[in-house]
Each structure stands twice: as C-alpha cells, then as structure tokens.
Amino acid sequence: MPVPPSTTATTTAPTGPAGPDTAWRVDNLTGADVLADPAPWTDAYETVYADVLHLPDHSTPPFAERLAFSANRPGFRLTACYVGGELAGFAYGYTLPPTTGWWDGFVPLPGVDAEDVTAERPGRTFAMCEALVHVPFRGSGIVERSMPFFLSGREEERAAGLVAETNTHARDIFLRNGWQHVGDLAPHPGWRGHHCLLMPLNG
C-alpha cells in the first residue's frame, strides 16, 4: 500500500535473524521527525563506519551535517528497519531540485545518454543519500523488506543512488533489486569514486 512521506508505516514479519518469532518493523519518518532527535541516526552511522570514519567520504562534510541538510529538503524521507525492537538499518533521501549538483562530474557508461541522465526538472528524481545496515543484520533481507517502503508512494519519475566503487557488495544488492548502474562520479572533492545507480518509479 502506498505510504506518503508525511506518515509512519509499520509492518511485521514472523521471521528474522534472531529467531522464528522475531518481529520486523519498518517506519517512514519525515524531516521533522529526524531533526527532533538526530542522535539515533548519527550513532548508527558512526557505529557502522567506525573503521573508515577517517576517510573524506565519511567525514567531509560530517554525517550529522549532511543529514540535517537533507532533512530540511522537500520530499525528504527516512525509512528505518527494526528487528526485535533494535535498529537494523536505515535509508534516507529527498527530491532533487532542478539546480542540483548531484550529477557534477558524471561520467556515463558506454551507451548511456549522459544528457538525459543528468537533466533534472521539478520532481524528476528521488535521491537516496544514504543507506546502511548494521553488521548483525546483513544478509537477512533488510534491503528487500525496507526498500519497498522507502520508495512507496513517491511521485518522482525515478530514484537515484550512489555507491562507493569499492563497495561491490552493496552495488550487487541494488542491482539485484532493480537498480541500474549508469555511470560514475565523485560526490565531493577528495571522495572516492562512486557508482551512479538509477531505478524507474511509477511505471
């Protein structure tokens, strides 16, 4: 069932990594929800990426700053997945404006129309800015369970995401779930190269 960005959605399932009776819950949160208490998301990010927080990808600008920027953008949504009441992972994004710098430095794969990919107009693209899963819950179907809630009810034509070029595991998960690798770019100065992924929405 479509879930508009302004509401919270929940779901439960009878299976999970903690045992056959583990309950799963997926919540869709607004920017106001996140800004009211950003600590759970910042703490989760710093835990998952504890070994690489020194890299520019994770520190310049700091995650808390990036989260606050995104949460203030139109169309923001954060989807959180809980297993047995414990935060297992989350993803968030917002609607790209026509003047976005998201595609700066884009290098298309052979056969990809770079002009079409990078052309933005009001409401064209829902950009996934971050997606992470705590280590104990990797391989448990978190992405497959939560991504439909993350993308449900969106009015944009497509979703876009960036995955570090060395993170082949995450890239492969997204490719298996309907995303397409269309090219590469470095999101910020000093960052590693990232794969640009797209997935059509609403037909």
Confirm whether 190 is domain-assigned.
yes
Confirm whether 6 is domain-assigned.
no
Confirm whether 44 is domain-assigned.
yes
Whole-prediction pTM value?
Answer: 0.88
Whether 7 shows a pLDDT value over 60: the answer reads: no
- Structurally, how many domains does the chain consist of? 1
Confirm whether 17 is domain-assigned.
no
Confirm whether 12 is domain-assigned.
no
Confirm whether 60 is domain-assigned.
yes
* Res 15: pLDDT: 39
143 Ramachandran zone, left/alpha/beta (phi>0; psi -120 to 50): alpha
Beta partners for residue 132, in sequence order: 90
Residue 21: pLDDT band by 50, 70, 90 thresholds? low
Beta partners for residue 164, in sequence order: 194
In this predicted model, what pLDDT tens digit does every residue of 51-109 receive, in sequence order? 988 888 888 889 999 999 999 999 999 999 999 999 999 999 999 999 999 999 999 99
Chain position carrying tokens 């070029």: 165
